[in-house]
Structure 1
Amino acid sequence: MDEDGLDAARFDADSDATADAETETSTETAGTDETDDTMPGVPDPEPDADEPPEDVQKYARFTKMDGAQYDRVNEFLRDRTYVTAREWAIARLCSDFRTETGVEMTKIGENLPELVPFMTDTYTPQAVNQARSSFEEKVRKAGATFLYGAMCDFFTAEELDDVMYESTEVAKFLLEVEGVDLSVEEELEAEERISSVMREVREASEELRTQDEE
């Protein structure tokens, strides 16, 4: 990638966060207390009454994106993947806040602006589930599209290697933004697993085409 690629796409961290049209399913942030605190006899609210849950306060996945602008993040993702910024963020949250009984969608939706710097609105549990489902569907379709392209003999082996290299670089960048610290050994191991799978795909594809020709 060129200089304007991954490193230059650090999402315009000096800009104010703005919401994309895709957040239209989100709910309005909970209303503020309109009580006039200058009125005598009205007690001050509890200092921690509006504090988010402890695990939300400690969540640090997207701290590298403090001050990032939603539109900038969305543009980066749409140029390189099928998913939107909200689908990416919520898919990660659903993974991190999964419990034995399911995903804590209410907690994710109510605390979305605290969990992800570039998200500015709260979401209903239904909106969280919709974004998660959309992410999963796009990943499955992208996987089917890629495998067909790899198996239909449209790409050469070298071209497929280039596709895999670029895809791996984008994926690693997103993981780094999320705060995942990949060691060199882990990167090499992941790349070897991917290369091994691709070799198996190419071999299977060649066998299928050979059978069809007989």
Structure 2
Amino acid sequence: MTEEATPDPETDGATPETAAEAADDPEDPSPQPSVPEDGVESEESPETAPQPSVPDDVQKYDRFKKIEGGTYDRANEFLRDRTYITAREWAIARLCADFRTETGVEMTKIGENLPELVPFMTDTYTPQAVNQARHSFEEKVRKAGATFLYGAMCDFFTAEELDDVMYEATEVAKFLLEVEGVELSVEEELEAEDRISEVMRDVREHSAALRHDECPHCGGDLDGGESDGSGSTAEADD
């Protein structure tokens, strides 16, 4: 079953399922675990209650195996020191990317099998709770992206400082991918770093063209194109 990935306002203010997840992001409403309707406990005993079967793709899912036995608090502490996202949002974002079909994200499957999919998540989620965490992740990425791009374009950082920022960000992102189970070769890492550096150089050069008519360093004309390297200044109008 697939669910549409749209924010559900009815989940705002829901009670978090664990004390650890309640404290991971005080400004973000936390989801609630799956509970029986109307708060009524089922009268079925564990022996008579039907046991849901685990889907094959859930059984074969091999992400997060490198932190088998890890705790939510530990994962959350690492993320909060280096990113704006929480462990809950990290896990849900990864699962939403992996369990996406042509019609949407399989939020019911993710929520019902969350403890089997992610070692440090101990409770099941409702589809609404999964969607809420997904939406929170998306909003934080958009805001962080705008903040970073402005910092890169406003000339606050020198070229060398911007390279340092990109290097640190890339290292954290690569580490998270490796923890998830992505294997990156040295060649792939170097290629990714080179491509990112090239993109950021282009961003810096084109943003300078937006801010200045002339290069503040050499006085050359800034028209969004590359300098010819001659160091000549722009000709004055007659």
Equivalent-residue separation in structure 2 for 1:36 and 1:72 (angstroms): 32
Counterpart in 2 of 1:41?
Answer: none
Q: Once the 2 structures are TM-superposed, how far is the Cα of residue 35 of structure 1 from its aligned partner? A: 3.0
Counterpart in 2 of 1:112?
Answer: 114
What SS does structure 2 have at the residue aligned with 1:20? helix
Counterpart in 1 of 2:62?
Answer: 60
Equivalent-residue separation in structure 2 for 1:136 and 1:73 (angstroms): 19
Report 1:64-83 matches (<5 A): 64-83=66-85
Identity in percent: 74
Which of 83, 95, 110 is the matching residue for 1:93?
95
Change (3 A) 1:36 1:28: closer
1:70-98 per-residue CA deviation (whole Å, 9 max, x = no partner) reads 01111110110111101111000000000
Equivalent-residue separation in structure 2 for 1:33 and 1:54 (angstroms): 29
Q: Once the 2 structures are TM-superposed, how far is the Cα of residue 185 of structure 1 from its aligned partner? A: 1.6
Equivalent-residue separation in structure 2 for 1:52 and 1:36 (angstroms): 17
What SS does structure 2 have at the residue aligned with 1:160? helix
Of Structure 1 and Structure 2, the greater helix share is in 1
Which structure has the higher relative contact order (CA within 8 Å, separation 6+)? Answer: 1
1:155-183 per-residue CA deviation (whole Å, 9 max, x = no partner) reads 11111111000101000000000000011
Code of the aligned partner of 1:86: R
1:114-137 per-residue CA deviation (whole Å, 9 max, x = no partner) reads 100011111111111111111111
Counterpart in 1 of 2:149?
Answer: 147
Counterpart in 1 of 2:31?
Answer: 25
- In structure 2, runs of 5+ residues without a counterpart are 1-17, 222-238
1:77–1:85 CA contact under 8 A, matched in 2: yes
Q: Once the 2 structures are TM-superposed, how far is the Cα of residue 28 of structure 1 from its aligned partner? A: 4.1
1:26-81 per-residue CA deviation (whole Å, 9 max, x = no partner) reads 224777885385xxxxxx788xx433111111111011111111011111101101
Counterpart in 2 of 1:157?
Answer: 159
Which stretch of structure 1 is more off in the superposition, 25-34 or 51-60? 25-34
Equivalent-residue separation in structure 2 for 1:123 and 1:56 (angstroms): 15
* TM-score (normalizing by structure 1): 0.81
Code of the aligned partner of 1:81: T
Equivalenced residue count is 190
1:19–1:120 CA contact under 8 A, matched in 2: no
Which stretch of structure 1 is more off in the superposition, 101-110 or 181-190? 181-190
Code of the aligned partner of 2:116: E
2:31–2:132 CA contact under 8 A, matched in 1: no
Equivalent-residue separation in structure 2 for 1:78 and 1:33 (angstroms): 41
Change (3 A) 1:205 1:178: same
